[in-house]
Structure formats: structure tokens, C-alpha cells
Amino acid sequence: MKRTISILAIIWAFFCTFIILIIFIKGPQFTRLFGKLPSMIISPVYAGGDLNYVVEGDSLKIAVNKPVFEALIGESAKGFVQITFSGTGNLPQLIEQEIDYDKDLKPDFKLKINTIENKTEYLSISPNAGPLIVSSKVHDDWVVRIKVRNKKK
């Protein structure tokens, strides 16, 4: 029995060299395979949440995401909503927009962004809309995140 275990252990140790080689040589294939697993998604806390609706204007496209109330279990009482402004060409210098993030047909907050000077003015209209978290250029777009209160909590 001892001898069998010993032989099996040596065989396993021998294969370790090949395991390391396979992991790195076949890395891209493994990445594609495991990348399809249900948990391999960036958390909406970072990715910004799913798209809720899009408003398309002449020179500006506004993507309003669904509010993110991510918590380890259930939903948290406070979260954020992400708005992405994309220009059809370059981003306009001045963006002034009222946003209805919860689709109740009433504006929840107002944004005034100067994309050249990197200045954002924010005005909360709805009591559920909290302060501005971040307003920043991201590649060719402009992304804004506003703190919002979870109505269910």
C-alpha cells in the first residue's frame, strides 16, 4: 500500500510540471472557457449597472442606467445611478440636462457639465436623489454617478 501511494505521489509530482505548462500555454482557451461562468461579471458597483433607457438627441446620446443597490445579501438602502453622455461626434462643451432616472416622468436631478473645464453643477430635485458621487470623462464619453435612495427600504 505504502509503495503504491509512493508511486502515485511521484507520478502526481511529475505531472505538476505539465500542469504549470498547460495552464500558461492554454491560458487564452481557459480564459474563454471560464469567462463564461455565471460569476465572471464585473460587479455593477464598478461597471455602473444595466442600461435602463436611452435618450437620443441631435448631438448627444444619454444612457441612463438602472440604479445600483448592490449589497452582499439583498439590496442596500443607498446606491447610485450612472448616466453616460456620448456625443455623436465630439462631446459638446456644455451639457445641461434634467434626468428622470426612475422613469416616473418627473425629473429627479439636473446636471450642468462643462466638458472642457471639467466642471459639474448638480441640483437635486427629487428627495431620492442624493449628492453627486463622481463626474468624469471616460474615453470619448462623460460619466456621472449620483447617490440615490432605495425606495424599497
Partner 1 sequence: MSDYFTTHKIGRSLLLALPMIILNFMLITRGNLNFSGSTDVIAFSITFLFFSYLFFMMLYSGKTDKYRATGFIVFAMFFAFTFIVNLIKIRGTNTFDNETILACEIPMCHIPAFMFIIPAVFTKTIIFPGNIGSITFMLIATVGMSIVLGRGICSWGCLFGGWDECASRITRKPVIKKVNAVFRWTSFAVLLIVVLWSAATLSPTYCWWLCPFKAVTEYEEVSSFSILLKTIVFSLLFAGLVIVLPILTKKRIQCATFCPMGAFLSLTNKINIFEIRIDKEKCNNCGTCSKICPTLSLSKTNIEETRPSITCTKCGKCIDVCSRHAIQYHIKGTSVIRNISLSRYLFLYPAFILLVIFAGAVIQHGIVLIINLITTGSML
Partner 2 sequence: MILTEGFLLGISTGAVCLVYCGPVLIPYLLGEGKNVRQNAYVLILFLSGRILAYSIVGFLAGLLGTVLLQSILYKSYVFGVIYILLAVLLILYGFYRFKEICLGHLQQKINSNLRKQFPRIVPFISGVITGFNICPPFLIAITKASDTGSITSGILFFLMFFMGTSLYFVPLPFTGFLKRQQVFRIIGKFASIVTGFIFLYQGTLKILN
Q: What angle do CA 57, 68, 105 make, to 5 degrees?
A: 45
Binding mask 20-59 for partner 2 (x = CB under 8 A): ----------------------------------------
Return the bridge partners of 144, or none: 83, 135
Task: Give yes or no for residue 152 binding partner 1 (CB under 8 A).
Answer: no
31 grid coordinates: 480564459
Backbone angles phi, psi at 108, to 5 degrees: -100, -30
CB–CB of 127/108 below 8 Å?
A: no
Task: Select the binding partner of residue 114 from partner 2, partner 1, none (C-beta < 5 to 8 A, by kind).
Answer: none
Identify residues 75-114 at the interface with partner 2 (CB under 8 A).
76-77
> All 3 cell numbers of residue 76?
442596500
Counting contacts by CB under 8 A, is residue 152 touching partner 2?
no
Taking CB under 8 A as the rule, does residue 139 contact partner 1?
A: yes
Residues lying near partner 2 in the complex (CB under 8 A) are found at: 71-74, 76-77
